[in-house]
Amino acid sequence: LHTRSTPLRGVGETRLGTLIVFNDVTRMRRLENMRRDFAANASHEMRTPLTCIKGAVETILLEKEALLENHGRFYTIIEKNVDRMSQLIEDLLELSRIEQQQLGSLPLNPSSVDAVVESSLVLLAGNAASKEVAIDVSGDTGVQAFFDPMLLERAVVNLLDNAIKYSPAKSTVTVAVEKIAHRVEIRVSDQGCGISAEHIPRLFERFYRVDSARSRKLGGTGLGLAIVKHVMHLLQGDVLLESTPDKGSTFTLVLKG
Ligand code: ADP
């Protein structure tokens, strides 16, 4: 809180009292801290893959004379880290594109929820197959809700991608659609590691992860849920989470139906 006080004087310099101005700077300071944290986190996230790439290139240059096949694993390191950087930049751009959209500026027309679920499943079929994770679709069919299909697909894809990533091999991920009065819910459930209660309040923040090493190893940028949160805000809906450690999680997208 910033306070400023000025003496209040009447005619002939008689002192009438003191004017005190309280200025609540908590919100401004919080925004400033968030901006600073974001710049620091984003730089840190980019520095790590760059350091790996530089290390691999230096090794190749030092060992110029070595047989070409010895260089194979360094090229793999370079490729993996270039992919990681690209994904991070893609996600950062996506997040800033979504953030720049004004709330209410997006036309939210009645659209088919089934079509978005279908197209999201197509995009993740490969990931699911390589982990032998089955994806079950259940619930209401033929449901319409108010949303922008591209944006909703992004949210569903991010949730499905996480559900597959944080699940054990050969488990099942479920996508359930339900229309409840003027609301449509899309629930993505997994039988994975779950999330303990203390992490839940911060989980949708950019770069917040329960286990950073695990997330990075699985190819995560730490931005997926922040994107989901922003998308659902733009769609004038919401995202909810219920989770039990070691049992699994259910993320629910709520839309206007
Ligand atoms: P990431 O790219 O790290 O997956 P996200 O923003 O998508 O970033 O998710 C943030 C963190 O939330 C993840 O690092 C992970 O710890 C946790 N998380 C997200 N989805 C799940 C899930 N289905 N099961 C368990 N943990 C999850």
Reported as a single tens digit per residue, the pLDDT across 192-217 is 999 999 999 999 999 999 998 888 88
Nearest in space to 163 (alpha carbons), one of 174, 154, 155, 152: 174
CA-to-CA separations, 210 to 5, 51, 154, 202, 253, in angstroms, rounded: 46, 24, 22, 10, 21
Measured CA to CA, the distance from residue 149 to residue 192 in angstroms comes to: 28
Task: List 180's β-bridge partners, or say none.
Answer: 183
State residue 5 phi and psi, 5-degree precision: -125, 140
Q: What is the pLDDT of residues 37-91, one digit of tens each?
A: 888 889 989 999 999 999 999 988 887 766 666 788 889 999 999 999 999 999 9
pLDDT-wise least confident of 66-70, 91-95, 115-119 = 66-70
pLDDT at 182: 93
Mutation to probe ligand 1, out of 94, 196, 209, 212 (largest number of atoms < 8 A from CB): 209
Instruction: Ligand 1, residue 219: give the atom nearest the CA.
Output: 2
**DSSP code of residue 195:** -
Ligand 1 mean position, distance from CA 16 (Å): 60
Expressed in angstroms and rounded, the spacing between residue 126 Cα and the centre of ligand 1 is 19
Q: Is the pTM of this model over 0.80?
A: yes
**Rounded distance, CA 102 to CA 104, Å?**
6
Nearest Cα residue to atom 14 of ligand 1: 209
* Distance from C-alpha of 99 to C-alpha of 9, rounded to nearest angstrom: 48
Average pLDDT over residues 134-139: 97
Pocket of ligand 1 (CB under 6 A): 162-163, 166, 190, 192-193, 195, 203, 209-211, 215, 220-226, 249
Q: Strand ranges (DSSP E) for the chain?
A: 2-9, 15-23, 109-112, 134-139, 144-147, 172-180, 183-189, 238-244, 248-256
